Amino acid sequence: MHEEPEPSSPPGQEAEEAPPWRPERGPGPVNTVLYPRGRLPGLWIYTGRAWRRGWVVMRQDYPDRRYAYQVELTLTDENGIPGTHRRSFWWGQDAVRVLRRPPPPPDGSVTPGEPWRIP
């Protein structure tokens, strides 16, 4: 599977996290896509002053045409101990970039442009 190389320079700011949806924030997601293990797409996320690989486990589509991608990524705590965490980030910012697109399903049931793809 082809992976895009780590971006060579940092963006102007860190990636903006997408907060968990709550009714007071307006309309919730209209579609949720879960990605199967073994076929996870990847995103480069700029956070903690470094580019990090994030493996996409879920995408939420909002009615205002925004996409939130929940990723698993390794972050280091204040004691220098790395751990895997899940965070959601908004698509469409310079601090979130494609690392790896998922392969099409083995049964060929999805056509290009359908929800399993990353924009």
pLDDT tens per residue, range 72-107: 999 888 898 999 999 999 998 999 999 988 766 666
Kindly report, residue by residue over 27-72, the tens digit of the pLDDT.
999 989 888 887 789 999 999 899 999 999 999 999 999 999 999 9
Secondary structure (3-state) at 90: strand
- pTM summary value: 0.82
Number of domains in the chain: 1
Full domain range(s) for residue 76: 1-119
